Structure 1
């Protein structure tokens, strides 16, 4: 089953773009590194404690959602200007963070409309890359760090955003459990599922990480 067929069957009507939480009812919004801040107080210096907490939490959630041999889709949205002469250049997510060189040849690309309601949206488009693989095929500890580091140039690893209008968005889809994991940046992440019981253990185990702005709705959902 390819990505489009899978999404239409399991998550009908859902668009793989930021703010999955507001598109789907079975959901959890986690706030990362609660109580800590990106910078040390009163000085313009990155807070190592904050980022180490973010890395630990995203990796922990990833390992809870994906078992070693789980099959998944790794989906990447790349947002480009229509006049970009490098439009056919493959995003380096798959070259740098996929261990299995053989499966890279199975990478698929689809051109989609721009995902955001900007005034000049007609001037942009979305290249959506998808790869069916297993958890063990992904260098996920460093890939998760790259997602979280995207707004902080001194940190590595980090995605190169030359030739694109925004940093890429990555979605990890567990095909067996029908769960989607999306880290939007260092501040938080979203988990959605086709069945509430698939994510109840995560809700119970990491309840204190839930975003407080969404807590009331989340508690109602899991009653």
Structure 2
């Protein structure tokens, strides 16, 4: 299965880049570790309770979306300066460190995309995609690495000094037609072809919804009198 064919069929017009929420109608936007802060005010050190909450909530949402039986795409956007285009797949931490099933690495696909950044004249963007199953990925570690990406002292991480931008990692449930994107420790986005697919997530974790997005999200999932 080709990633772009899948997107064209199920998410027509969608560009797989940050701010999925602004591109699609059936959507959720969560703030992770709401009410906690990255730094400990008393010690001026990183607040481990905050990061533990971030990891646990991101992993909970992932497990709500993906079951062991589901087929998925693991997609990563990489942005390099055009002078650095010779830095190749060997730098791809996402697939080198977090794929448990080594044999499926040979199915990894790469394409050049020119529409992911506004600074196209200066940057070169590559999109990597791998069709796999949930159990093929060390997903607890990968999710933790994504959440750690803005903090150099935290491990694991997907960040690398070779790139000006951090990699963007998307988890796509091909079976259920849901896309999950954790942009960093602050939050994540979920979109789906049908809002009923993500209604249970909305109901179970309504307290985590980003407050700036709450009104329009609540309007999507209006609870009828029969459901009350």
Q: TM-score range by the shorter chain?
A: over 0.9
Structural mapping, 1:1-223, within 5 Å:
1-90=1-90, 91-113=92-114, 115-118=116-119, 121-223=120-222
Give the gaps of 5 or more residues in structure 1: none
| Deviation of the 1:89 alpha carbon | 3.1
Q: Distance in 2 between matches of 1:133 and 1:60?
A: 20
Give the gaps of 5 or more residues in structure 2: 223-228
User: Aligned pair count?
Assistant: 221
- Residues 74, 172 of structure 1: 8 Å contact kept: yes
Q: Distance in 2 between matches of 1:146 and 1:160?
A: 8
Using a 3 Å threshold, how does the CA distance of structure 1 residues 210 and 160 change in structure 2: closer, same or farther?
closer
- Residues 114, 124 of structure 1: 8 Å contact kept: no
| Deviation of the 1:114 alpha carbon | 5.0
1:74-106 deviation digits (Å, cap 9, x = unpaired): 000000111115333341211100010100000
| Deviation of the 1:69 alpha carbon | 2.1
- Residues 37, 47 of structure 1: 8 Å contact kept: yes
1:45-84 deviation digits (Å, cap 9, x = unpaired): 0001000000000000000000012110000000011111
1:125-184 deviation digits (Å, cap 9, x = unpaired): 211000000000000000000000001111100124232121100000000100000000
TM-score by length of 2: 0.94
- Residues 114, 122 of structure 1: 8 Å contact kept: no
Using a 3 Å threshold, how does the CA distance of structure 1 residues 69 and 166 change in structure 2: closer, same or farther?
same
Q: Distance in 2 between matches of 1:177 and 1:199?
A: 10
* Bigger mean CA deviation after superposition, 9-18 or 109-118: 109-118
Runs of 4+ deviating beyond 3 Å: none
RMSD over aligned CA atoms reads 1.1
